[in-house]
Structure formats: C-alpha cells, structure tokens
Amino acid sequence: MALTAVIRVPSRALLRPWARLRDAALGWIEPAGGGGVEVSAQRFASQKVLVEPDPAAGVAVMKFKNPPVNSLSLELLTELVISLEKLENDKTVRGVVLTSDCPGIFSAGLDLTEMCGRNPAHYAEYWKAVQEMWLRLYLSNLVLVAAINGASPAGGCLIALTCDYRVMADNPKYCIGLNETLLGIVAPFWFKDNLVNTIGHRASERALQLGLLFPPTEALQVGMVDKVVPKDQVQSTALSVLAQWMAIPDHARQLTKNMMRKPTADRLLKQRDADIQNFVSFISRDSIQKSLQMYLEKLKQKKG
Ligand SMILES: CCCCCCC/C=C/C(=O)SCCNC(=O)CCNC(=O)[C@H](O)C(C)(C)COP(=O)(O)OP(=O)(O)OC[C@H]1O[C@@H](n2cnc3c(N)ncnc32)[C@H](O)[C@@H]1OP(=O)(O)O
C-alpha cells in the first residue's frame, strides 16, 4: 500500500508501537515540536483495512478485511481511523469508497466478542474506539460513498449511514438496518440521530423499535440507501457517484456538510465520557451479557 503519511508522535510511546499508532490516529499526539519523533506510518502495514489509492482520479477505495464477517473489532476500528486520517491528510485524495473485501458481507457490525465476558476497562476502551470511528467518518471532509456489497446489520449499517451516499448490491439476501433491539440491546442516541437524519423520524422509530433489517429494494424505498445496482456494478457505480460529488468545489461542499452534521456530532462530543459510562454499565449487566451470549450461541448453532 503506497501510503506514506508522517505522524509526529511522543518518543516515550516508541516502546509500544500499537498504542502509539492508536494514540496518533485518535488525536492523542503531542503538538509539533513537542519532542516527538517522526515515523512513516507505511512501516506498519495495515491488515484489516486495505486502501487502494488512485491519485490520478483523486480517490481511494477502502476495503474492510476482517474475515469471516468484518465484525468491527478494536483492531479493525483502530486501523479504520488510522487509514481515514492518512487519507484526510493526503492532498491527492478528495473522495473515498468504503466497501468490503469479505464476500457477501459489508460488515456484521460491532464485534460481539468485544462486548461479552470482558472487563469494564475493556468495554470503555472499545466504546471510545466506536465513538471515534463514528465521529471521524461522520465529520470527514472527504466525500465518502458506501459500496454495500453484502449484509450490513447494526454497526455495519452505521458505517454506511455516515457516508454521503450509499450504493447497495441488489441481492435480496443482503440486509441493512439497525437491528439492536433483536439482540436485546438499544441503539445509542447518536446511532438513532444518524438514522433520523437519513430516513426521517417516523421511519426511524419503526425501524429502530422493530430492529428492521431491510433487503435492498426496501432499503431504497425507505431512503436508507440511495441506489441499488447489480453486485458487479456496486464499486464502479460508487466511483461514478464519487466523481459527481467531487465536481463540486471542496470548500463549499465541506462547509455545507459540516453545517448539516456538526450539531448531531456535537451532541455526542459534549457527553462522550457520560456515553462511555452509560455503555459500560449497560453492557456489564448480567441480563445484557446473557442476551449477547445467547445471540452469539444462536449464530454459532445456525451452522450445525
Ligand atoms: C447503551 C449502549 C447499548 C449498546 C449498544 C450496542 C450497539 C451494537 C451494535 C452492533 O453492531 S451489535 C452487532 C450486531 N450484529 C448482528 O446482529 C449481526 C450478527 N451476524 C449475522 O447476522 C451473520 O453473521 C451475518 C453477518 C448475516 C453473516 O452470516 P453468515 O451465515 O455468513 O455467517 P455466520 O455463520 O453467521 O457467522 C460467521 C462467524 O462470525 C461470527 N459473527 C457473526 N457476527 C458477529 C459479530 N457481530 N461479532 C462477532 N462475531 C460475529 C459468528 O458467530 C460465526 O462465528 P463461528 O461460529 O465461525 O465461530
């Protein structure tokens, strides 16, 4: 991967490359001149997120690669944020297509194994990473187009909802939606806000309470996706849409996007810590842990 962003990081963290990269990606870095050292991010080859830049076109394709189902593990979330940050800082890139490298699955959503049987400190770290992913994507200055080439429940749907435009493959087996209630859990307010901003209040109320997973044609009808095309045209269509959006002057489009989205993002930014505490206490409940364990068991038994 030809990404060569240089990140200034605190020298103390050199002992822990993983934590250092995460800190840099999440913005926990010393200011320039603060005694850090410069390292090329290219040295740390990404494994869960593949980025294919096309500088001539000013675009990149970002592919999630966390088989079998692209669950959003802490590692994938961290790599996603790092990759996005590099692209934001790359002056040759103005737009990104987000898609999946796993056949038939865009993303299975948050990684249930990160939310089951762990300790409160882990839940807090995980939730902070989920928040960070959403904030970075939702407020990105880049044009983001989701090429939804597979199933996209819950957190997978959330990623698609952060994009400026969604193209979905026409396979009726691929469903998209915020199905949290089916797991006995509740979509956080910022998931809900992002959905309401996309499909409106009444449709969101119904979709969220019932945990609806929409097949492509229904997703199109309700406005959850913008275009449905045959599977082999998803990426090319997403790239064409990207080109249309990139015909608009960046500064005008970016200011408009920010004007539309900032109030929603600010709601979370103002109460990030409280939101983390809320998540930790909710997810730590015995009843919630039991529900999630049962759901995971059901997924496993489906095979046998
Ligand atoms: C106050 C705050 C409250 C908390 C808010 C929390 C918000 C939560 C958001 C979420 O995103 S929760 C996750 C929701 N995701 C789902 O419900 C999807 C579950 N998965 C599926 O429906 C299916 O796996 C699939 C995506 C449709 C793919 O089906 P397929 O038949 O292709 O694969 P499977 O055999 O089902 O799965 C393979 C393998 O992967 C494991 N797995 C599936 N999904 C997840 C996941 N989200 N996290 C972790 N692991 C997952 C599944 O158990 C199988 O494992 P093995 O049996 O191979 O060990």
User: Three-state SS string across 281-298, please?
Assistant: HHHHCHHHHHHHHHHHHH
Give the residue carrying structure tokens 């090429």.
Answer: 147
C-beta of residue 102 within 8 angstroms of C-beta of residue 65: yes
Residue whose Cα lies nearest atom 19 of ligand 1: it is 108
Mean pLDDT score across all residues of the chain: 88
pTM for the model stands at 0.89
Of 75-84, 140-149, 267-276, 295-304, the one with minimum mean pLDDT is: 295-304
Q: Does the pLDDT at position 7 exceed 70?
A: no
Q: Which residue has the higher pLDDT, 45 or 64?
A: 64
Q: Are strands 227-229 and 165-169 parallel, antiparallel or unpaired?
A: parallel
What tokens does 276 get? 């983390």
Q: Which residue has the higher pLDDT, 266 or 32?
A: 266
Q: Could you give the 3-state DSSP secondary structure of residue 227?
A: strand
What does the chain come to in residues? 304
pLDDT bracket for residue 13 (50, 70, 90): very low
CA of 251 to the centre of ligand 1 (A): 39
Residue-range domains of the chain with CATH: 44-302 (3.90.226.10)
Residue whose Cα lies nearest atom 7 of ligand 1: it is 187
The mean pLDDT of 158-171, rounded to a whole number, is 99
Best CA proximity match to 241, nearest among 186, 180, 168 = 168
Is 110 known to be catalytic? Answer: yes
Kindly name the residue from 179, 208, 212, 292 that is annotated as catalytic. Answer: 179
Residue whose Cα lies nearest atom 44 of ligand 1: it is 108
pLDDT of residue 304: 62
The mean pLDDT of 238-243, rounded to a whole number, is 98
Q: Which residue has the higher pLDDT, 13 or 225?
A: 225
Is 155 known to be catalytic? Answer: yes
